[in-house]
Amino acid sequence: MKLLTTKYSQQQLSVIMMRPLQKIPYCIRQFSTLRSVPKPSAWKTYAAVGAVSGSLFIYYQQRLKVNAASSNSSRIKSAWMSDPITSYEILEENPDEMRCKFEKMIMRVQGELCRLLEKEDNDKKFLVERWARKEGGGGITCIMQDGTVFEKAGVNISVVHGNLPPAAVAQMRSRGKDLTGKDLPFFATGISCVVHPKNPHVPTIHFNYRYFEVTDEDGSVQWWFGGGTDLTPYYLDKEDVSHFHKTLKTACDKHNKSYYPRFKKWCDDYFFVKHRGESRGVGGIFYDDLDNDDQDKIFKFATECADAVIPSYIPIVQKNKNKGYSYAERMWQLLRRGRYVEFNLVYDRGTKFGLMTPGARIESILMSLPLTARWEYCHEPESGSREEELLKVLKEPREWV
């Protein structure tokens, strides 16, 4: 009865369930012709009445289920930031198809995170823009700028399909993908988020979770998952970094205890700014081309990681967002943001893929860039300063759990 009680009270249910019984006198009158038959069998009358009343009962029960399901669908849609890119009807009619499952998951995560960030920033609202890509698909970009707590926050969803350009195919082959064709049909969906706070004592967070399909010339479909979550502090708070990593490790350990150490190292290696000889931040987890297990198992893992974003980050925001800071601390934050920009434009795989994709929406691809950043010629932090403490950690990644 759980489904029925989602919309009606127990008293309302009692009234509704009695309606078929109230129809019995009507049913008896309708079958009065049976009385004209000499010595009719009593069981025939009762059977007829029972059949009709039973049918009425089933009708009302089914109508309740439809209403409850419709109410549930409305609640799901109201939790999203926009209508989905794929029609809601298709998403509902194909609940077991990975494309649909992944899109519904990222729609939910986007809605939950955006509303929490709005709450943390004194109810400042996200600008929500639903856009279409003429080559196929589209996305939902949610942007907050010049808030009290968040200088810039972007939570973007994309669901795109079409043909891969040769440069993108070449990039995938370089990662070991066995693709023989040139203009290959593809499908990609994912969620990408970057939050740049105003306060230098609140770190920047980035996460991205995605699902990809490519159809080769012979009609075979290759699929894989990618994703990760990482933290970029401006001042080192070991307690915060440890909390962040512990939350991600807990999510990984539920699925495979080898995941966290493996993906933590992958994250440290991936987010390394080679020309600076330092990491972008204090890492987290990162994985790509994950296709070596059951598809549903990997999907559940990706969902677990995406759901770990809020508990890993929001407590850090709440702890630090009201701390005071100096002009010098703000300038250091802007210098570190400059390093963030360098990584995203020079090395980031997602940014490069987006810029190579025909019809890509540049505003959404570059939403990860901060509102303000700074470059100084030959800047060096003072010896023994907190700035130098952070720099040492960025040059030599540590184990935080």
Confidence at residue 28, expressed as pLDDT on a 0 to 100 scale? 45
Confidence at residue 27, expressed as pLDDT on a 0 to 100 scale? 46
- Asked whether residue 87 is domain-assigned, the answer is no
Determine the residue type at 167.
A
Per-residue pLDDT tens digits for 217-275? 888 888 999 999 999 999 999 999 999 999 999 999 999 999 999 999 999 999 999 99
Closest CA to 289 of 401, 174, 184: 174
Mean of pLDDT values over 62-85: 68
- Kindly state whether residues 237 and 362 are assigned to the same domain: yes
Q: How far apart are CA 159 and CA 104, in angstroms?
A: 11
Confidence at residue 220, expressed as pLDDT on a 0 to 100 scale? 86
- Kindly state whether residues 222 and 135 are assigned to the same domain: yes
Mean pLDDT, the chain, whole residue set? 86
Residues 6 or more apart whose Cβ sits within 8 Å of residue 394? 278, 279, 280, 281, 282
What are the φ/ψ torsions at residue 154 (nearest 5 degrees)?
-130, 130
Question: In terms of residue numbers, what domain contains 118?
Answer: 96-395
- Asked whether residue 340 is domain-assigned, the answer is yes
Structure tokens belonging to residue 287? 């994985």
Confidence at residue 58, expressed as pLDDT on a 0 to 100 scale? 58
Higher-scoring residue by pLDDT: 213, 64: 213
Q: Which of 78, 109, 132 is at the close of a domain?
A: 78
- Kindly state whether residues 149 and 42 are assigned to the same domain: no
Q: Report, in angstroms and rounded to the nearest whole number, the Rg of the chain calculated over CA atoms.
A: 28
What are the φ/ψ torsions at residue 248 (nearest 5 degrees)?
-70, -40
Give one DSSP letter per residue of 240-283, joined into a string. HHHHHHHHHHHHHHTT-TTHHHHHHHHHHHHTEETTTTEESSSE
CATH of the domain at 243: 3.40.1500.10
- Asked whether residue 88 is domain-assigned, the answer is no
Q: How far apart are CA 396 and CA 401, in angstroms?
A: 16
3-state secondary structure of 114: helix
What's the pLDDT band for 18 if we cut at 50, 70, 90?
low
Confidence at residue 102, expressed as pLDDT on a 0 to 100 scale? 98
Confidence at residue 170, expressed as pLDDT on a 0 to 100 scale? 73
- Kindly state whether residues 284 and 213 are assigned to the same domain: yes
- Kindly state whether residues 113 and 53 are assigned to the same domain: no
Q: What DSSP character marks residue 175?
A: T
Q: Which of 78, 104, 131 is at the close of a domain?
A: 78
Determine the residue type at 57.
F
Q: Is the whole-model pTM more than 0.85?
A: no
- Kindly state whether residues 293 and 150 are assigned to the same domain: yes
- Kindly state whether residues 278 and 156 are assigned to the same domain: yes
- Kindly state whether residues 72 and 134 are assigned to the same domain: no
Residues 6 or more apart whose Cβ sits within 8 Å of residue 235? 200, 201, 329, 386, 387, 390
- Asked whether residue 86 is domain-assigned, the answer is no
Angle at 115 between CA 134 and CA 139, to 5 degrees: 5
- Kindly state whether residues 275 and 192 are assigned to the same domain: yes
- Kindly state whether residues 261 and 351 are assigned to the same domain: yes
- Asked whether residue 16 is domain-assigned, the answer is yes
What's the pLDDT band for 386 if we cut at 50, 70, 90?
very high
- Kindly state whether residues 234 and 156 are assigned to the same domain: yes
- Asked whether residue 123 is domain-assigned, the answer is yes
Q: Which of 49, 78, 107 is at the close of a domain?
A: 78
Residues 6 or more apart whose Cβ sits within 8 Å of residue 151? 145, 196, 197, 198, 370, 371, 372
Question: What is the sign, positive or negative, of the torsion defined by CA atoms of 379, 385, 390, 394?
Answer: positive
Confidence at residue 19, expressed as pLDDT on a 0 to 100 scale? 56
- Kindly state whether residues 109 and 62 are assigned to the same domain: no
**How many other CB atoms are found less than 10 A from the CB of residue 167?**
12
Confidence at residue 282, expressed as pLDDT on a 0 to 100 scale? 98
Per-residue pLDDT tens digits for 103-158? 999 999 999 999 999 999 999 999 999 999 988 999 999 999 999 999 999 999 99
Which residues are the active-site residues?
206
- Asked whether residue 85 is domain-assigned, the answer is no
- 296 has a pLDDT exceeding 60: yes
- Asked whether residue 41 is domain-assigned, the answer is yes
Residues 6 or more apart whose Cβ sits within 8 Å of residue 205? 193, 194, 195, 229, 230, 231, 232, 309, 313
Domain count, the chain: 2
- 53 has a pLDDT exceeding 80: no
Are 172 and 146 in contact by the 8 Å Cβ rule? The answer is no
* Chain centroid offset of residue 361 CA: 19
